């Protein structure tokens, strides 16, 4: 998996663009400035966006190439992010240390995902929020991106179960057009989810 992402990100072009995801660009500016975590941050587009707003940004990704491009983008935008290379199954952060955890198209196999989400909940401060956008199970067959395995894709019912104890503020499936670099283009079926601790 690491080799695949390193190969994908080693090209000069930003595979998902340098502009933030639309959902994150809409939601993050509405939140109080604080500490935010971007798991699976890729080439850093959302992390850099949040840093420019004044957030203390922490991010991780499996790919060293992704990290290098994220730090390069932050430098170009004259801002700073804390970005480490780490695996979602092993990464650790202090309890109750983030105001926001933002998950943008971070798809994991279900057995890893459930354990990782449990960790995310523990890393959130009371009142903190999870923001998530990813491909829904209806995405299969569309060419705009995403895993080709249904188990890796999202459903609103599964997200309700996988983030227990949080107050769900938004949980909906929708169609939208993606224009996010060469790898996310065209009609997409997504889930948008917000929950508060």
> How large a percentage of the chain has pLDDT more than 90?
89
Looking up tokens 């503020």, which residue turns up? 169
pLDDT band at 12 (very low <50, low <70, confident <90, very high): confident
- What residue spans of the chain are helical by DSSP H? 2-9, 22-27, 45-53, 64-76, 110-123, 156-162
Quick count: other Cβ atoms within 10 Å of Cβ 128?
Answer: 24
Per domain, the residue ranges of the chain are: 2-196
Task: With a cut of 90, say whether residue 181 has pLDDT above it.
Answer: no
The pLDDT of residue 46: 98
Class of domain 2-196: alpha beta
Q: For the residues 77-105, what does the mean pLDDT come to?
A: 97
Arithmetic mean of pLDDT, 151-168: 97
**What local confidence, expressed as pLDDT, does residue 8 receive?**
83
Task: With a cut of 90, say whether residue 114 has pLDDT above it.
Answer: yes
> What residues pair up with 98 in beta bridges, in sequence order?
124
pLDDT for residue 186:
93
CA distance 2 to 97: 27
Which residue, 83, 124, 85, is CA-closest to 2? 85
The interaxial angle of helices 2-9 and 64-76, nearest 10 deg, is: 40
Please check the confidence at residue 1 and state whether its pLDDT lies above 90. no
pLDDT above 90 for 23 = yes
Task: Look at the pTM and tell me if it is higher than 0.85.
Answer: yes
DSSP code for 27: H
User: How sure is the predictor about 5, in pLDDT bands with cuts at 50, 70 and 90?
Assistant: confident
What backbone torsions phi and psi does residue 87 show, to the nearest 5 degrees?
-95, 135
């Amino acid at each position: 998996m690491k080799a695949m992402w390193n190969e994908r990100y080693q090209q000069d072009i930003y595979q998902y663009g340098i502009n933030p995801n639309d959902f994150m660009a809409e939601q993050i500016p509405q939140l109080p400035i604080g500490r935010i975590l971007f798991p699976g941050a890729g080439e850093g587009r959302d992390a850099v966006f949040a840093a420019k707003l004044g957030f203390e940004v922490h991010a991780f990704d499996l790919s060293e190439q992704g990290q290098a491009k994220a730090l390069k983008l932050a430098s170009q935008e004259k801002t700073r992010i804390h970005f480490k290379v780490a695996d979602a199954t092993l990464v650790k952060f202090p309890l109750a240390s983030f105001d926001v955890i933002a998950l943008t198209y971070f798809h994991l196999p279900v057995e890893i995902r459930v354990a990782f989400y449990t960790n995310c909940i523990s890393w959130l401060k009371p009142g903190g929020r999870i923001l998530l956008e990813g491909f829904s199970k209806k995405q299969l067959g569309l060419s705009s991106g995403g895993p080709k395995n249904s188990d890796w894709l999202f459903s609103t019912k599964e997200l309700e179960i996988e983030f227990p104890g949080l107050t769900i503020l938004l949980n909906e499936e929708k169609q939208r057009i993606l224009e996010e670099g060469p790898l996310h283009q065209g009609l997409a079926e997504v889930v948008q989810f917000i929950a508060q601790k």
